[in-house]
Chains A and B, each alone.
Chain A
Amino acid sequence: MATDTAAIAGAPRPAQRDIPHTVSPGLWTLAWRRLRADKVGMVSLAIVLAFIVMMILSGLGLIASDWQREVGVNYAPPTFLGPEAPATPAPEAVVPRTAAPAGSNYQSKIVDPIGDVIASLKAGKVPGGPLPPETAEEKSVDPLADVMSEIRADKQVEAKAEHRVRLATLPFGGDKWGRDVLKKTIKGSETSIFVGIASAVVATFIGTLLGALAGYYGAKVDDFLNWFYSVFSSMPPLLLILAVAAVLQHKGIVTIILILGLTGWTGVFRLIRAEYLKHKAREYVQAADAIGASNARRMFVHIFPNVSHVVLVQLSILVVGFIKAEVILSFLGFGVPVDVVSWGSMLNEAQNELILGKWWQLVAAGTAMALLVTAFSIFTDSLRDALDPRLKGRTGA
């Protein structure tokens, strides 16, 4: 076996020689050049990369690590102005991550019955601007005038802090526990994108390996793998997923990656098998046979680079599909555990919130997913055009 692994270790690296030469662009370089010329594709790529960077930063805990902090208002709307500013020395401001009692009164002013009035007042006024002097009439008419004057006094003192408070608002609103939906969306991307990419890698790997074996060896191997494939593809995918989920019991990200990966390889298998069938008969593979290349070498060193663009496009398509699949699974409650946030679980929560008219969680998770999936799909199309330009309108003399 030792010789076998050596035999497929890759194309031989010739020693270098000192003659002047320009490095010829390989097919990948040419594909990248074509992709770079595709403006729409590059914009989508930028969006996808932004999402991935966001996911990585969130995973490293650099952003949105405090997503479980609560502002203490149920369903804070996007117009909500958070009371606490980073500068405000409020020791209760940082709530322990695990504790999440609804409506915790860490800032008494908010649970104040007129808290809303105050909030809207604050919102209505020009922050930090000179306040109009109170008048006697106002005092006599308004029973709350005293309180108001107190507040105004406070406000003048905190004029600077007020400015910072604005920065600490929840632009996407808050959820049932008053958690920032924006941060939740960012944290959710971590799960959704990671699950999408990881399960697509698993599915593509299985599909490619089995497809290569079936297409290359043909005959009995092909019969057996085709039978195996037919069994998998004869069941409705969602049912299959639910069945595997039920068997695996344990809820978790790894579980969901395995579920999607183990059920999603069939499409890749079929395509790669067809590619290998086609390439096996090509002369360059016969030529490799003639020079004595082993089966494994022909399969992976010679044919694989020539079908790798198909693999890449399939991977890309699967990522899009699996991001959606994860959202659906989590929405149905078969996905990630409750203590993990994903776009699917956000949408699941939004289901109940919508009745109450709390639309922002739905919009946030929905927009994020739609943006990523659309960008990824367009990027996939551009990628396919770049890798196989013949598909995009044949030209010939």
Chain B
Amino acid sequence: MGTIQSGVMQSNGDPLVRVRNLRVSFRLDRHTSFDAVKGISFDIPRNKTVALVGESGSGKSVTSLAMLGLLPPENSIIDRTSEILYGGRNLVTLPIGELRKLRGADISMIFQEPMTSLNPVFTVGWQLEEVLRLHMGMRGRAARKRAIALLGEVGIPEPERRIDAYPSQLSGGQQQRVMIAMAIACEPKLLIADEPTTALDVTIQKQILDLIAALQKRLQMSVLFITHDLAVVGEIADYVVVMRNGEIREQGPARAIFESPQDSYTKALLLCRPRLDRRPMRLPVIDDFIRGTGPQHTEERPRGIGAGDPIVLDVKNLGKSFYSREGIFGTREFKAVKDVSFRLPKGKTLGLVGESGSGKTTVGLTLMRLHEATSGEAIFEGRDLLSMPPKEFMRYKRRIQIIFQNPYASLNPRFTVGQILVEPMHIHGIGTSAQDRTDKAFELLAKVGLPEVSFYKYPHEFSGGQRQRIAIARCLTMQPDILICDESVSALDVSVQAQVLNLLQDLQDEFRMSYIFISHDLAVVKYISDQVMVMSEGEIVEIANSDDIYRHPKMPYTQRLLASIPKGWHG
């Protein structure tokens, strides 16, 4: 496979943690087991940040859980010869009681989802003090004082007041800060951060990354940073370990990995992600590197819209409010979308960017009438889609289609792929007979790059990227004029993301569909869009051709957003 093991990383002196030949497997049922980690070795040096990078299924999270003894005992097996050495002790064979003493005190962990990691019925102060009580024996006033100091340290404003807040009263970023405060409460030697910023907006992600880097220096600890995104760790990692399918593909100092990657997979990871400064005709995909051909079609793709482009959809003053009951009779109005107007040219892509809660998804759902708009109109072929009666709208429904974010949730698990593809044609009376529709379904499967056998399979037999292809094929059965992609590639691994983006681009070139591409990922939006619309709190902040907006952002909000994008490696 050409795996490059440039030896175990060299570090000065005695490393904090030494992982040797770690093997973890999971029992699937009585006869089969699955090797999640296949004998990996690496070191975590003192006072350094090590990034463990890999896509889903690479075994990176399993590795971190094994270090804390948090793997489910009923179906996981750690090989007897595996060693995780910490302070002269092997964590693999350490009794659970000893291990529990280490957890929280010497080694602590931050998880991906702060919302589910904090207990909603206790105040953050109570939860912080609990850690201090258990591990440091602090009580009462001393514990509270320390808790306030910790909250201040992780950058929570007014810690004296916020200490009595419940988790639900804090924003996602603040909740993650509280999690970090809990993790550093006992001044651990090692902090394990498992995708700590993946669930956060890009501006918050930037703040959390800065905080972790600052704390690492101040508290003299080591950090094991687990992520699927190489770009995130470029700014904070000292060493990088790249994993794939339970094996280490490459490891070494960050500079070496970013500047001269040896392994084809590492190269692919670095280049598959769209970059802000370049826009090739096709994105490089992992196969290009595995096959050794290198990226194809790298010439620059021109983007942007001109004044003469024919307009497909003209949205005027779109507004959408949600009402929640308050008291017995009162209602509270929440304006998710306020007065949004834009025009969508034929065969072009409009990128819709914004942080969570900016109303970008609501715009998409409202245009499809999955939510009824409160005000405004959307003119399509001279008719207002939003005000026509539902019966009449049925004729237009197939013309505007949507691809959802989560390919695992958007396909009915009880339908075969064949049924999924035939159903829309059946509903809209496309095709003359069942045979005709089936033929068309096979044609589309080929178009999105899936084998014919897929027709008879169920969605659960496919990977995330393949499922997204099925969802795309389902939309294509109706030959839509407008395709709304609602975070359609956000849940996919970097390498798969590039393939799906290429597919979307090919389909647009072939069918001249217009896309509304909704995403929080600015680099992806920059790559795929002709025009970009930045939204914040339900309003349009800025709308311009994508090159203009990235090169010369006019509004401060846009500037701040662009500054937060992880830059990768700067050398």
Interface residues of A, Cβ cutoff 8 Å to B: 7, 11-17, 19-24, 26-27, 37, 282-284, 286-293, 297, 302, 305-306, 393-397
State the CA gap A394–B456 with chains docked (Å).
29
Q: Does B416 contact A (CB under 8 A)?
A: yes
Given A17-B455, A24-B461, verify A306-B401 contact (CB < 8 Å). Answer: no
Q: Mark B397-424, 1 if CB is under 8 A from A, else 0.
A: 1100110111001111111101101111
Interface residues of B, Cβ cutoff 8 Å to A: 26, 29-30, 36, 59, 61-62, 72, 74-75, 365, 368, 370, 394, 397-398, 401-402, 404-406, 409-416, 418-419, 421-424, 426-428, 433-435, 437-438, 441-442, 452-453, 455-458, 461, 471, 474, 478
Inter-chain contact B410/A284, CB cutoff 8 Å? yes
Inter-chain contact B471/A287, CB cutoff 8 Å? yes
Inter-chain contact A12/B409, CB cutoff 8 Å? no
Inter-chain contact A21/B453, CB cutoff 8 Å? yes
What are some 14 contacts across the A-B interface (CB < 8 A)?
Answer: A12-B419, A12-B422, A14-B418, A14-B437, A14-B441, A14-B455, A15-B434, A284-B413, A292-B398, A305-B412, A306-B412, A397-B26, A397-B59, A397-B61
Partner of B413, one of A21, A27, A287, A397: A27
Inter-chain contact A14/B434, CB cutoff 8 Å? yes
State the CA gap A27–B412 with chains docked (Å).
12
Inter-chain contact A284/B457, CB cutoff 8 Å? no
Partner of A17, one of B29, B72, B394, B438: B438
Inter-chain contact B411/A291, CB cutoff 8 Å? no
State the CA gap A37–B31 with chains docked (Å).
12
Given A282-B409, A306-B413, verify A24-B456 contact (CB < 8 Å). Answer: yes
Partner of B423, one of A16, A19, A24, A291: A291
Contacts of B422 in A (CB 8 A): 12, 14
Partner of B442, one of A17, A22, A283, A305: A17
Given A15-B438, A21-B453, A292-B394, verify A284-B427 contact (CB < 8 Å). Answer: no
Inter-chain contact B74/A284, CB cutoff 8 Å? no
Complex: chain A residue closest to B402, CB-CB: A290
Rounded to whole Å, the gap between the CB of A397 and the closest CB of chain B is 5
Rounded to whole Å, the gap between the CB of B366 and the closest CB of chain A is 13
Contacts of B415 in A (CB 8 A): 11
Partner of A395, one of B72, B457, B474: B72
Complex: chain A residue closest to B427, CB-CB: A292
Given A24-B457, A395-B26, verify A306-B414 contact (CB < 8 Å). Answer: yes
Complex: chain B residue closest to A10, CB-CB: B419
State the CA gap A24–B413 with chains docked (Å).
13
Inter-chain contact B75/A395, CB cutoff 8 Å? yes
Rounded to whole Å, the gap between the CB of A306 and the closest CB of chain B is 6
Rounded to whole Å, the gap between the CB of A358 and the closest CB of chain B is 50
Partner of B409, one of A27, A283, A288, A293: A283
Partner of A12, one of B75, B410, B426, B457: B426
Contacts of B452 in A (CB 8 A): 17, 19, 21
State the CA gap A95–B413 with chains docked (Å).
61
Rounded to whole Å, the gap between the CB of B516 and the closest CB of chain A is 13
Which of A7, A11, A305, A306 has its CB near the most chain B CB atoms (within 10 A)?
A11
Inter-chain contact B409/A19, CB cutoff 8 Å? no
Contacts of A396 in B (CB 8 A): 72
Which of A11, A13, A284, A395 has its CB near the most chain B CB atoms (within 10 A)?
A284
Given A290-B402, A293-B423, A397-B62, verify A13-B370 contact (CB < 8 Å). Answer: no
Complex: chain A residue closest to B393, CB-CB: A292
Contacts of A11 in B (CB 8 A): 414-415, 419, 423
Complex: chain B residue closest to A25, CB-CB: B458
State the CA gap A297–B290 with chains docked (Å).
45
Inter-chain contact B478/A291, CB cutoff 8 Å? yes
Contacts of A287 in B (CB 8 A): 402, 404, 410-412, 471, 474
Rounded to whole Å, the gap between the CB of B491 and the closest CB of chain A is 11
Contacts of A395 in B (CB 8 A): 26, 72, 74-75
State the CA gap A305–B368 with chains docked (Å).
26
Contacts of B29 in A (CB 8 A): 37
State the CA gap A284–B410 with chains docked (Å).
4
Inter-chain contact B438/A284, CB cutoff 8 Å? no
Inter-chain contact A26/B458, CB cutoff 8 Å? yes
Contacts of A293 in B (CB 8 A): 423, 427
Rounded to whole Å, the gap between the CB of B214 and the closest CB of chain A is 32
Contacts of A23 in B (CB 8 A): 456
Partner of B411, one of A7, A21, A27, A284: A284
Rounded to whole Å, the gap between the CB of B455 and the closest CB of chain A is 7
Rounded to whole Å, the gap between the CB of A324 and the closest CB of chain B is 33
Contacts of A290 in B (CB 8 A): 368, 370, 397, 401-402
Rounded to whole Å, the gap between the CB of A226 and the closest CB of chain B is 15
A26-B414, A284-B410, A290-B397 known; 4 new pairs, CB 8 Å cut-off, are: A14-B418, A37-B29, A291-B397, A306-B414
Partner of B428, one of A21, A27, A292, A397: A292
Complex: chain B residue closest to A28, CB-CB: B414
Rounded to whole Å, the gap between the CB of A14 and the closest CB of chain B is 4
Rounded to whole Å, the gap between the CB of B421 and the closest CB of chain A is 8
Which of B368, B418, B433 has its CB near the most chain A CB atoms (within 10 A)?
B418
Inter-chain contact B370/A289, CB cutoff 8 Å? yes
Partner of A24, one of B26, B409, B416, B442: B416
Contacts of A297 in B (CB 8 A): 427
Complex: chain A residue closest to B75, CB-CB: A395
Complex: chain A residue closest to B30, CB-CB: A37
Rounded to whole Å, the gap between the CB of A298 and the closest CB of chain B is 10
Contacts of A292 in B (CB 8 A): 394, 397-398, 424, 427-428
Rounded to whole Å, the gap between the CB of B408 and the closest CB of chain A is 9
CB-based closest 8 A-B pairs:
A305-B414, A283-B410, A291-B424, A283-B409, A15-B438, A14-B418, A12-B426, A15-B434
State the CA gap A348–B36 with chains docked (Å).
61
State the CA gap A289–B401 with chains docked (Å).
10
State the CA gap A297–B365 with chains docked (Å).
20
State the CA gap A396–B72 with chains docked (Å).
8
Rounded to whole Å, the gap between the CB of B396 and the closest CB of chain A is 10
Contacts of B368 in A (CB 8 A): 290
Which of B406, B427, B455, B457 has its CB near the most chain A CB atoms (within 10 A)?
B427
Rounded to whole Å, the gap between the CB of B146 and the closest CB of chain A is 34
Contacts of B72 in A (CB 8 A): 394-396
Given A287-B404, A290-B401, A395-B72, verify A12-B423 contact (CB < 8 Å). Answer: yes
Given A15-B434, A290-B370, verify A7-B427 contact (CB < 8 Å). Answer: yes
Rounded to whole Å, the gap between the CB of A292 and the closest CB of chain B is 4
Rounded to whole Å, the gap between the CB of B298 and the closest CB of chain A is 35
State the CA gap A23–B438 with chains docked (Å).
17
Which of A23, A288, A292 has its CB near the most chain B CB atoms (within 10 A)?
A292
Contacts of B474 in A (CB 8 A): 287, 291
Complex: chain A residue closest to B458, CB-CB: A24
Complex: chain A residue closest to B456, CB-CB: A21
Contacts of A284 in B (CB 8 A): 409-413
Rounded to whole Å, the gap between the CB of B88 and the closest CB of chain A is 29
Contacts of B402 in A (CB 8 A): 286-287, 290
Inter-chain contact B435/A15, CB cutoff 8 Å? yes
Contacts of B394 in A (CB 8 A): 292
State the CA gap A374–B416 with chains docked (Å).
37
State the CA gap A307–B209 with chains docked (Å).
42
Rounded to whole Å, the gap between the CB of B407 and the closest CB of chain A is 9
Rounded to whole Å, the gap between the CB of B265 and the closest CB of chain A is 20
Complex: chain A residue closest to B433, CB-CB: A15
Rounded to whole Å, the gap between the CB of A289 and the closest CB of chain B is 6
Contacts of A305 in B (CB 8 A): 412, 414
Contacts of A14 in B (CB 8 A): 418-419, 421-422, 434, 437-438, 441, 455
Inter-chain contact B453/A19, CB cutoff 8 Å? yes
Contacts of A37 in B (CB 8 A): 29-30
State the CA gap A17–B436 with chains docked (Å).
11
Rounded to whole Å, the gap between the CB of B478 and the closest CB of chain A is 7
State the CA gap A23–B458 with chains docked (Å).
10
State the CA gap A27–B461 with chains docked (Å).
11
